[in-house]
Structure 1
Amino acid sequence: MDTTAPTESSQPPARRWLSRPWRIARNVAIGIVAVLFLVWLVLFITKGRFLKHPFESIAGKLTGRAVTVRGDFQLYFAPLQIKFYAERFTIANPQWATRPNLFQAQRIDTRIAPLSLLFGKRRLYWLDLTGGAVDLEWNGAHTANTWTFGDNKKGGKPLDLPRIDRATVAGTGVRYLDSQMRLLADLKIDTITSTDARIGKAVGLQGTGRIRDTPFRLVARLLSPDATVNRGKNQLTLRAWAANNVIDVAGTLPSIADVEGVPLQTRARGRNLAELLGIIDVAIPITRTYALKAQLVKSGNAYKFTQLSGTFGDSDLAGRLTVTNGDRLTLDSVLATRSLDIVDAAPFIGYNPDIVAAKGAVAAAAATGAAPQRILPDAALPIATMQVFDATLKWTIGVVKSRNVPISDVDLTLALDRGRLVLSPLTFAMARGHVASDIVFDTRQRPAADRYDIRLSPTPMGRLLAGYGVDEAGTSGTIKGRIQLNGRGDTIHDSLAGASGRIAFIMPQGSFWTRNVQLSELDLGTFVQKMFEHRLKEPVKINCGLIGFTVRGGVAAADPILIDTQKNVILGRGGFSFKDESLDLAFRADGKRFSLISGQSPVGLNGYFAKPGIAVISPQLVGRAGAGLALGLFASPLAAVLAFVDVGDAKSAACGPVLAGATAGAQRTTSGKPRDDVGTGTTAKTDDGKRLGTDRNPKRKKVLGIF
């Protein structure tokens, strides 16, 4: 037997062919391993520092941003993990951004899982980040942001955070800028320490910023940091302090800087709601302390507050509000109030409600710059602000809590368009009557062109006066009226101080309590007679009445004041001034029947709007009393009474012109003759400043006015 081993030349050709590729593969594998080992060895020895510039170039191409390392750089296997170390590392922002870098760090030291760079989600075994800074910014058109790489219009890719098993992040801050909202925030992040890819506890943030021109400070907590790192939902709470207001926001965001379409629960409280809205350049009347909550959803450039509810002062508020931040800031709101305290309504005419509540209307008017003893506020309209935003408002109010006048069912529609403010219609129920008004403040004209048109439907006088201590029972008289004025001015006082127009209140047929009427008529005989007969509450019948004024240049003159009752004709002269709020009126009752003891003298109404006075003992009454005393001394006691006798020669009024609200020139007696005992709607003064009387018949037996 031949036991000699076969040589290579003696092997079959097929076996020789199979062994050769094996050897080649073996040699190639050995070569690759040798090369890899050599690369590993070179990288390990050099720490890969020579790869700095290739790394910057490749990373820049992948991100579309400039990537630079201005300090030490290391990139090598240690031994099977990729070691990455960089000092003064930066990733640039797009050219349109206001800051040069999206991200920068004083130092990054990390270990990377090699295969995660090729397959699946990138993974870091550990990360040590020091002195980091992140810049999150939107462009002016809100179409691109700094944290999305590539072309935003073509669906750029946002920054994808890797999985990090262990991490320490210290001294890191975040800057957020939204130029469309004019919002800037600089935040510092608390030191973060994570293990097993879990941060666990909430991550705190705090910092300062500015929204529009208002500085603020805030604290926030990211309640779900692990989900945030893994690009999951982000549960966030935030509290900010700005302009004496505290704002709380809570919600879950799909990404850390994306609030689009996300419902956020918001709360705000502070001393004045006007200060809160003033942050976004919206002007509203000032309020007392408020507390509101709502759900906020951002949709494009619209911020929608729904399920709004809360209080301001002693009043409640509910509804919805949409703020649109377009070419012009626009507010659209629908609000409802069940109960509005009258003090909380004071700001709508320019008063500070806190001053009204503590010191009254006169003090509140003085705080606006009004002269002493005036009640019309001198608070100027916020012209500049009114011209930079537009608004629509529909506001309904159930009841207005008032001490004197019962007001309810308020329905207000407001429109502000480039400085032209229109309250139309503004309606409400008052003492079982109805008031409808249309008010315009047009600040496009300088000074503002203002128009007041206020209409009072027939309203029971007993109910209307009940709040002032007049019992309602026994009074069936009603009153209706209209105020039409046009003026110029940026305050209510200025607009009325130069206003022109007409004021008229009409009293159709009805009844009024004797004790309320006879005293104003100063018919002492009838009053005393009824008092002794215990008939003080017997109503006096009113045939018709008109309290009319013609207003010229802020001065209102009686035109006419004429009330025809069953037994008397009440006449009034004089007027009042919106300029200095002075009152100078006289009322006189002429009897239609004989009255034994009648003052036959005007009752004066003087003083100011804030502090009116009644002059019951007028010069005419004093003169008549003097005459009676003289007759009593030199004639007989009976003669003294004659000075107070009213022979009852008053001419009844034709109610047609009265009920039509006609001026004095159109008034007639029941016989159809023009009346010569009513004012002409004008006032005049002598050169020495004394008022002139307007009585066209100075020889009349009874002086009807004190002017």
Structure 2
Amino acid sequence: MTHDGAGPEVATVRLEAAKNPAQSESRRRRIWRIVRNILIGVIAAVAAIWLVLFITKGRFLKGPFERTVTRLIDRPVRVGGDFQLYFAPFDIKFLAEGLTVANPDWTTRRHLFTARRIATRIAPLSLLFGRRRLRWLDLSDASLDLEWNDARTANSWTFASDGKGKPFELPIIDRAVLVSTALRYRDPQLDLIADLDFSSIRSRDARIGEAVRFTGVGRIRRTPFTLRGALLTPNATAARGRNRLLLNAVAAQNRITMSGTLPSLADIEGVPLAVTARGRNAAELLGILGVVIPRTRAYRLKSTLVKRGSEYRFGDLTGRFGDSDITGAFTVQNGGPRVHIDANLTTRLLDIVDVAPFIGYNPDLVASRGFAAAARAAGAPPARLLPDASLRAEGLRAFDADVRYRVSRLRSDSVPVTDVSVTVALDNGLLHLSPFSFTMARGTVASDVRIDWRRRPARIAYDFRMGATPMARLLAGFGVEEAGTSGTVRGRVQLEGDGDTLHDSLATSRGRIAFVIPQGQLTTRNVQLSELDLGTFVQKMFESRLKEPVRINCGLIAFTVKGGAAAADPILIDTSKNVVVGRGGFSFATEQIDLAFRADAKKFSLFSGQSPVGIGGYFAKPSLDVVSPQLLGRAGAGLGLAVLAMPPAALLAFVDVGDARAAACGPVLAGATAKGQRTRDGKPRDDLGTGTEDRSKDKLRKKFLGIF
């Protein structure tokens, strides 16, 4: 045993080596000669192969090439003419004439790729490491056909019979000359076919000296389009194959431009592209993709598009439609059974005219001639306001959507609306607008709308809930002065109907409409006009006390709706000076209004007409009927008394003894029906409607103006 721990055998070898240094050197030289001879043999073999390939140009490899590539990509590959494959001197030189690569059996074209001549030099190491790189490419009379199958589960450029292979990836090209090149793309799920023709292409040092220009035609969802574009060398030095894309397209009166820098000749994956679009109607633009929205006025949009797989994201969106602005982002996802839209959009100022399409009006007609003319153009008879235009239900099962939309302010002359917020969810034809909220005249309206397009006709449920809203501010746009009016109103509209238009759904609706007026104040002028108390009104007019406040104790304006016809159930307003009750109703089907109001005083008054005030006409043109048969009857009675007795006796016909029965405010504030209303002493009221009056026109006139 040695002191360094080595065994006896090692020690013996060391001893012999120390004694025979010449023998050890001879052994090392022998090993070196063996290694050298092996290296020389390998180099000689490679040189021989290189020489054979160079001399023969590798033409004898044509058959093995066809068989090998056919096996690798699971597609028949054929070379109809000359074939060359060799090292020149270090790059791989490849030439094939009449090259064809077959398509799968399910495609509409026989070949994925054909070329009269293809010649290229390939960097050898790029075949082993990283992305394939072509030193140069010369391609003549080439055609590439790219297709998806009907279910979009397989495509023609993924090289595997089961469609699960690795898709073809375009190599980096340093220099290129392409002559008479064509590309065809087909996607049955998008109903898209595009045919592009490329002009001659020449590039050098990964830069294309002349623009790669192309033109094309196609069809998407039965909409034809044309294309013009170019691939340009960027001004700044770029990585190999990086090119500038410019594209212009025209489809369905929409003009679309796209620009960006591509990492290679035809790679747009993950590349930000600047996109602009303009046209007469954004519904035509999105309709190309099968996305249905209401008609818009002329629009212009600008965005940044990034494609990742089947997802197309449009970010930094800005633009205008009509007189309204829009910003935000949205994503189109084509990977599922239906197109899916996800969006976050914001509008600072939304013009009321641009809202018109969402209920079936033509916005251009509304802007030029008003809502009534637009309603008639949409199919509504004269004097009708609700449109009969279809809300395009037929397309709402072709895509799904999740959209969040906010509006800071609605531009309107009549109703001040701000802070609109709506979340839209569409799932296979079931549309929810929930939550849907906005601020109106400093009051908040929270609502939910549900439209089931899976039914024919569609079933639409409306639920609008209005928080306490100042009446003066709410009605300011209709000429009501805010000074002296402090009352508020809150309410709920809950209806459900069947129809593919706004008119049809309301004309068949059922439900309840109720607006509650808690305690507040109104001006004396408003109250006296409502009860036609001529004596008190004139007295206060001469005393300059027209704006003396009158306290509202409570009020309820409610309707029960059945079959699209609404009947008062009840109309009851209790003030400090009188009790206002109403009968009648209106029809969503005919849009006819026939309401009658009467105010009974709580105090004695001379010269009081005390007869109903009628509101008739239609939604589009309501009318006020002040001189009712009851007022004429009182005038006749007064005239008779004057003839039989003396002229002062005529005044007796206009005396109001002030016997109005005050309302119990509990049921009023609770929004109870007419049957649940009580007087202040707890007795049932018998002066209210029942919510079931006959709404035919003749009976309305005879009944509602003669009910008091």
With the shorter chain as reference, the TM-score category is 0.7 to 0.9
1:589 aligned partner:
599
Alpha-carbon displacement from aligned partner over 1:210-243 (angstroms, at most 9, x marks no partner): 2333221111110139999996223212121112
Q: CA 1:387–1:228 in structure 2 vs 1: closer, same or farther (change >3 Å)?
A: farther
Counterpart in the other structure of 1:263: 272
> 1:263, CA displacement in angstroms?
2.2
Structure 1 residues 346 and 204, CA gap change in structure 2 (3 angstroms):
same
In the alignment, which residue of structure 1 is the partner of 2:185? 176
- Does structure 1 conserve the Cα–Cα contact (< 8 Å) formed by 2:120 and 2:134? no
Distance 1:476 1:441 in 2: 37
Of 610, 622, 627 in structure 1, the residue corresponding to residue 632 of structure 2 is: 622
CA drift of 1:84 comes to: 9.7
**Aligned equivalents of 1:694, 1:551: Cα separation in 2:** 19
Return the offset for 1:160.
4.2
In the other structure, the counterpart of 1:373 is: 383
Report the CA distance shift for 1:213/1:95 in structure 2 as closer, same or farther (over 3 A): same
SS of residue in 1 equivalent to 2:648: helix
Query: 1:210 touches 1:216 (CA, 8 Å); kept in 2?
Result: yes
Structure 2 CA distance for aligned equivalents of residues 121 and 652 of structure 1? 93
Q: Please name the residue that 2:422 is paired with.
A: 412
Give the direction of change, closer, same or farther, for the CA distance of 1:571–1:148 in structure 2 (3 Å limit): closer
| CA distance in 1: counterparts of 2:183 and 2:404, whole angstroms | 41
One-letter identity of the residue aligned with 2:364 = D
Matched, 1:475 2:475: no
Alignment match, 1:655: 665
When residues 387 and 137 of structure 1 are mapped into structure 2, their CA distance, relative to the original with a 3 A threshold, is: closer
Change (3 A) 1:609 1:51: same
Q: Which residue of 678, 691, 701 maps to 1:681? A: 691
Partner of 1:552: 562
Deviations 1:57-94 (A, max 9, x none): 78867876545465x759799x9999999875534345
CA distance in 1, matches of 2:611, 2:262: 80
Given that 1:602 and 1:618 are in contact with CA atoms closer than 8 Å, whether structure 2 keeps it comes out as yes
Q: State the match for 2:345 in structure 1.
A: 335
Q: Distance in 2 between matches of 1:441 and 1:564?
A: 38
Contact 1:572 1:704 in 2 (8 A): no
Q: Is the 8 A contact 1:234 1:255 kept in 2?
A: yes
Aligned residue in 1 for 2:304: 295
| Structure 1: segments with no counterpart, 5+ residues | 1-28, 696-702
Amino acid at match of 1:447: P
Instruction: Give the Cα–Cα distance (whole angstroms) in 2 for the partners of residues 370 and 693 of structure 1.
Output: 27
Report the CA distance between 1:577 and its aligned residue.
Answer: 0.9
Residue 228 of structure 2, aligned match among 208, 215, 219:
219
SS of the equivalent of 1:287 reads coil
Cα distance in 2 for residues equivalent to 1:243 and 1:573? 53
Contact 1:596/1:645 (<8 A) preserved: yes
What letter matches 1:690 in structure 2? K
Return the match for 2:243 from 209, 229, 234.
234
CA offset digits 1:135-180 (Å, max 9, x no partner): 2445667787655768986657645476557x4x443322233455
Opposite residue 323 of structure 2, the aligned amino acid is: D
Task: Find the residue that maps to 1:672 and give its secondary structure.
Answer: coil
Deviation at residue 474 of structure 1 after TM alignment: 1.0
Q: Distance in 2 between matches of 1:221 and 1:610?
A: 55
Whether 2:212 is the aligned partner of 1:210: answer: no
Q: Between the two proteins, what is the percent identity of the paired residues?
A: 58
Question: Would the aligned equivalents of 2:356 and 2:362 in 1 still touch at CA under 8 Å?
Answer: yes
Match of 1:705 among 701, 704, 707: 707
* Residue pairs, 1:424-503, within 5 angstroms: 424-503=434-513
Alignment counterpart, residue 537 of structure 2, candidates 506, 520, 527:
527
Following superposition, the deviation at residue 663 of structure 1 comes to 1.6
The answer to whether residue 102 in structure 2 is matched with residue 92 in structure 1 is yes
Contact 1:477 1:509 in 2 (8 A): yes
Correspondence for 2:8: none
1:104 equivalent in structure 2: 114
Q: Deviations over 1:97-135 (max 9, x none)?
A: 432223334x549798999999997656x95x6543232
Contact kept? 2:242, 2:261, Cα under 8 Å? yes
Deviation at 1:301, TM superposition (A): 2.4
Task: Structure 2 unaligned segments of length 5 or more: list them.
Answer: 1-43
| 1:579 is the counterpart of 2:581 | no
Matched to 1:352, the amino acid is N
Deviation by residue 1:509-547 (Cα, 9 ceiling, x = unmatched): 111122223223222222111111111122222121111
SS in 2 for 1:413: strand
Structure 1 residues 112, 376: CA separation in 2 closer, same or farther (over 3 Å shift)? closer
Amino acid at match of 2:241: G
> Which amino acid letter does the alignment assign opposite residue 367 of structure 2?
A
What is the CA–CA distance in structure 2 between the aligned matches of 1:155 and 1:680, rounded to whole Å?
A: 74
Given the two structures, how large is their TM-score scaled by the length of structure 1? 0.82
Secondary structure, counterpart of 1:171 in structure 2: strand
Q: Distance in 1 between matches of 2:143 and 2:324?
A: 46
Q: 1 CA distance for matches of 2:120 and 2:679?
A: 108
1:174-194 Cα deviation digits (max 9, x unpaired) = 223345544322111123356
Contact 1:587 1:705 in 2 (8 A): no
Post-superposition CA distance 1:382-422 (Å, at most 9, x none): 33322232212222211111111111111212211221111
Letter of the aligned partner of 1:501 in structure 2?
G
Task: Summarize the Cα distance change of 1:415–1:110 in structure 2 as closer, same or farther, 3 Å threshold.
Answer: closer
Helix, strand or coil for the counterpart of 2:539? helix
Residue 475 of structure 2: SS of its match in structure 1? helix
Task: Tell me, yes or no, if structure 1 residue 613 matches structure 2 residue 623.
Answer: yes
Q: 1:85 to 1:665 in 2, by over 3 A?
A: closer
Question: Offset of 1:362 from its aligned partner?
Answer: 1.7
Select 1:321's aligned residue among 317, 325, 330. 330
The whole-number CA distance in structure 2 between the counterparts of 1:598 and 1:113 is 105
Higher mean displacement: 630-639 or 620-629: 630-639
Backbone CA RMSD of aligned residues:
4.0
Alignment of 1:691-702 (within 5 A): 691=700
User: Which residue type is aligned with residue 104 of structure 1?
Assistant: T
Counterpart CA distance in 1 for 2:323 and 2:255 is: 20
1:445 alignment partner, SS class: coil
- Residue type of the partner of 1:500? R
- With over 3 angstroms needed to count, the CA separation of the structure-2 counterparts of 1:561 and 1:192, relative to structure 1, is same
Does structure 1 residue 307 correspond to structure 2 residue 343?
A: no
Distance change (3 Å), C-alpha of 1:571 and 1:247: same
| TM-score under structure 2 length normalisation | 0.82
Q: Within 5 Å, which residues of 2 pair with 1:130-169?
A: 130-138=140-148, 146=156, 155=166, 158=169, 160=171, 164=175, 167=177, 169=178
Task: Please name the residue that 2:263 is paired with.
Answer: 254
Give the whole-Å Cα distance in 2 for the aligned partners of 1:652 and 1:346.
Answer: 43
Q: 2:527 aligns with which of 500, 517, 528?
A: 517
Question: 1:281 and 1:532, CA in 2 relative to 1: closer, same or farther beyond 3 A?
Answer: same
Distance 1:449 1:484 in 2: 14
**Do 2:437 and 2:444's aligned partners in 1 also have CA atoms closer than 8 Å?**
yes
Structure 1 CA distance for aligned equivalents of residues 401 and 381 of structure 2: 33
Letter in 1 for 2:615: L
Letter in 1 for 2:707: G
| Secondary structure in 2 matching 1:623 | helix
What secondary structure, in the 3-state scheme, does the structure 1 residue paired with 2:699 have? coil
Instruction: State which of 184, 190, 195 in structure 1 corresponds to 2:199.
Output: 190
1: CA distance between counterparts of 2:238 and 2:95? 21
Aligned residue pairs: how many? Answer: 656
